[in-house]
Amino acid sequence: MTRSRASWDEYFMNIAREVATRATCDRKHVGAVIVRDKSILATGYNGSIRGLPHCDEEGHLMEEGHCVRTVHAEANAIVQAARNGMAIDAATIYVTASPCWGCFRLIANAGIERVVFGEFYRDQRIFDVSQRLGIELVDASRPAEAKAT
Q: Which residues are catalytic?
A: 74
CA distance 50 to 10: 30
Strand-pair category, 39-45 with 31-36: antiparallel
**Dihedrals phi, psi of 8, to nearest 5 degrees:** -60, -40
CA distance 90 to 24: 29
Inter-residue contact 143 to 113 (CB < 8 Å): no
**Taking the CB of residue 102, how many other CB atoms lie within 10 A of it?**
12
Task: Report the relative pairing of strands 92-95 and 114-117 from DSSP bridges.
Answer: parallel
